[in-house]
Amino acid sequence: MACGKVTFSTIFVLLSITLIATGQKSSLIILDENNWTQILEGEWMVEFYAPWCPACKGLEPVWKEFSTWADDLEIKVAQVDVTTSPGLSGRFMVTALPTIFHVINGQFRQYKATRDKDSFISFIEDKKWQIVEPISSWKSPASFQMSVVSYFFRLSQILRHIHNQLMEDFGLPTWGSYLIFAIATIILGALLGLILVCCIDLIYPPKYSSVKKSDDKAKQEKRTDKHSGDELADEDIKDDLIDLQDDQKSEPENKDDEAPRSNTSSPTIKKRKP
């Protein structure tokens, strides 16, 4: 009977410990590239970590203990594994691990205070996050430009996986893998350039006929201007010749007019008889 009571007590204690541990784990939300947008609503504390990071391993029990206070603080506590979600590390521009962000209603602030449970709780209860400057809108993880950056991070992770697979599964040396990537980059760049040129030609087709017509029209206008200039020069020469002839005709008449005037104007001198 005593043995049965001991066994029952042991089972009860084990179940209690299991339930408590389960409750603690359920308070910690795991975020990835598919569900991260839920942090845009409400108040969150989010940790970025990596399994191989020693500092992250040291913070792990503290962070899990802090997550048990999530309901009391009316917040949500989450984690992001950068090895499985490289796009999020690029979106949040995570350059060191572990990195902690405070998010409230779409505003992002990086937590840089002491990393212990009491400091985390005080940061939320005393609203110390209000004295921290939020991340600017153009660097916000929810912005379009940071979405583009996240795709580049995801692409780099995919290429890294392919590189490791080529060396481990196919036994290629490092330089062989790099050579394959170089050839693929050249071919891909040429194809993208060709596609881009074709798209531009379809959207803005070349207008050779119109250009040729405009050139012919310009040449014709130059010729017309030249002919009209020559005609004007000829007309000017003719006008000058006519004016010259008129001047030559008017000169004798002026002389004839001046002669009688000179005679009439000069007084007649009469000689006296001796």
Catalytically active residues are: 53, 56
DSSP string of 179-246?
A: HHHHHHHHHHHHHHHHHHHHHHHHHS---HHHHHHHHHHHHHHHHHHHHHHHHHHHHHHHHHHHHHHH
Q: Write the single-letter amino acid at 217.
A: K
| Distance from C-alpha of 100 to C-alpha of 47, rounded to nearest angstrom | 4
Q: Is the peptide bond before 98 cis (omega within 30 degrees of 0)?
A: yes
Question: Is residue 49 within 8 Å of 56, Cβ to Cβ?
Answer: yes
**Beta strands in 50-199, from DSSP E residues, in sequence order:** 76-81, 99-104, 107-111
Rounded CA Rg of the chain: 48
